[in-house]
């Protein structure tokens, strides 16, 4: 290494890796394409190695560039957390808090909770990231997370809430056309809505309903929101949160004796528990989701 590269160069590297081209990275960063190209050239010169190979497909990252991705992501996450931390004054409920949740929780449950939180604390701003991936709170990818799995990392403050019930539901119009199945075995004659890629969590869930064959799904998608939208549209029968379905009079629960409980946790780094703004958001989420 010839010199100590500026942190901004790693930010540009991460954007090019994520976007796949100089022009797309420039749009993401709000820079010009020549500026992004100069950043890549400067970082390559500082490291004394190539980061990308120019090809007909565009930019192909080298092994070195790929190995730097995780470190650049940590730098970006830390920089964002630094700005959030500096956005508020100690002892006041003001500034920015980043919340992570699954897509269904973020769309179906959190908006009224966050709206009330904003009314109670007008100086508070929320960054909401929706993903089924477990955000790493130790490196501050998020400040507070709503999780459907029990936290395993140490140094986390966690509150367990009542489990979320998942059950089979369908639109009443679909049932009027196709009839209502009386058993899990009878589901095979219906248009089933389910997942595409299998994960350990889904395998554990499927083990509780061994009669259900994923190969027979008429609609496969890994988006829980897309599954819920398909149920609401009358495509067929699928699993969704009972509390969400109960808010829609057109949705009917199928096989009422079949229910899958999902754990629900509110989690944040224990170092944040004495901060007024993080504590206010944590308590509001816990109370609202409970």
3 state DSSP class of 101: strand
| Neighbour-count burial for 94-103, b at 16+ CB within 10 Å, e otherwise | bbbbbbbbbe
Q: What is the DSSP string of 18-60?
A: HHSSHHHHHHHHT--HHHHHHHHHHHHHHHTS--EEEETTEEE
pLDDT of amino acid 138: 56
Question: Is 2 part of a structural domain of the chain?
Answer: no
Q: Do 125 and 144 fall within a single domain?
A: yes
Q: Do 203 and 70 fall within a single domain?
A: no
Q: Do 146 and 271 fall within a single domain?
A: yes
Please give the residue that has the higher pLDDT: either 131 or 245.
245
Question: Is 1 part of a structural domain of the chain?
Answer: no
3 state DSSP class of 91: coil
Count of structural domains within the chain: 3
Q: Do 133 and 66 fall within a single domain?
A: no
Give the tens place of pLDDT for each residue, 223-281.
999 999 999 999 999 999 999 999 999 999 999 999 989 899 999 888 888 888 899 99
pLDDT of amino acid 106: 94
Q: What is the CATH number of the domain that holds 117?
A: 3.40.190.10
Alpha helices in the chain (DSSP H): 7-19, 22-29, 33-47, 63-86, 103-104, 110-120, 172-178, 200-207, 224-232, 242-245, 276-289
Q: Do 250 and 269 fall within a single domain?
A: no
Angle among Cα 71, 74, 79 to the nearest 5 degrees reads 130
Q: What residues make up the domain containing 69?
A: 7-76
pLDDT of amino acid 163: 93
Give the tens place of pLDDT for each residue, 143-181.
899 988 888 777 788 999 999 999 999 999 999 999 999
Give the tens place of pLDDT for each residue, 91-111.
778 888 999 999 999 999 999
Q: Do 155 and 276 fall within a single domain?
A: yes
The pLDDT of residue 283 is above 80: yes
Q: Do 281 and 246 fall within a single domain?
A: no
Q: Do 62 and 29 fall within a single domain?
A: yes
Q: Do 64 and 203 fall within a single domain?
A: no
pLDDT of amino acid 20: 86
Q: Do 167 and 157 fall within a single domain?
A: no
Give the tens place of pLDDT for each residue, 178-203.
999 999 889 989 999 998 887 666 67
CA distance 217 to 227: 12
Q: Do 33 and 154 fall within a single domain?
A: no
pLDDT-based confidence at residue 7 (cuts at 50, 70, 90) = confident
CA distance 38 to 85: 31
pTM of the predicted model as reported, rounded to 2 decimal places = 0.69
pLDDT of amino acid 156: 82
Q: For residue 148, what are the β-bridge partners?
A: none
Q: Do 255 and 179 fall within a single domain?
A: yes
User: Is 96 in contact with 144 (CB distance < 8 Å)?
Assistant: no
Question: Is 180 part of a structural domain of the chain?
Answer: yes
CA distance 180 to 222: 25
CA distance 152 to 154: 7
């Amino acid at each position: 290494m010839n010199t100590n590269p500026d942190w901004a160069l790693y930010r540009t590297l991460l954007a090019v890796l994520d976007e796949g081209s100089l022009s797309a990275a420039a749009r993401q960063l709000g820079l010009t394409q020549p500026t992004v190209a100069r950043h890549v050239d400067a970082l390559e010169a500082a490291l004394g190695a190539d980061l990308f190979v120019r090809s007909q497909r565009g930019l192909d990252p080298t092994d070195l560039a790929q190995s730097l991705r995780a470190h650049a992501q940590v730098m970006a996450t830390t920089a964002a957390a630094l700005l959030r931390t500096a956005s508020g004054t100690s002892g006041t409920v003001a500034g920015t808090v980043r919340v992570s949740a699954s897509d269904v929780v973020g769309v179906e449950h959190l908006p009224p909770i966050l709206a009330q939180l904003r009314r109670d604390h007008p100086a508070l701003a929320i960054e909401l990231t929706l993903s089924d991936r477990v955000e790493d709170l130790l490196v501050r990818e998020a400040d507070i997370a709503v999780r459907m799995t029990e936290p395993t990392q140490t140094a986390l403050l966690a509150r367990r809430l009542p489990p979320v019930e998942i059950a089979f539901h369908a639109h009443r119009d679909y049932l009027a056309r196709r009839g209502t199945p009386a058993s899990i075995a009878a589901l095979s004659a219906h248009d089933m809505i389910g997942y595409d890629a299998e994960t350990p969590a889904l395998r554990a869930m499927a083990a509780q309903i061994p009669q259900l064959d994923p190969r027979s799904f008429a609609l496969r998608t890994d988006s829980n929101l897309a599954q819920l939208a398909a149920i609401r549209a009358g495509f067929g029968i699928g699993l969704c949160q009972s509390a969400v379905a109960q808010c829609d009079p057109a949705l009917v629960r199928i096989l009422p004796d079949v229910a899958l409980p999902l754990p629900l946790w509110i989690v944040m780094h224990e170092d944040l528990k004495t901060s007024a703004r993080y504590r206010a958001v944590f308590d509001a989420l816990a109370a609202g989701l409970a």
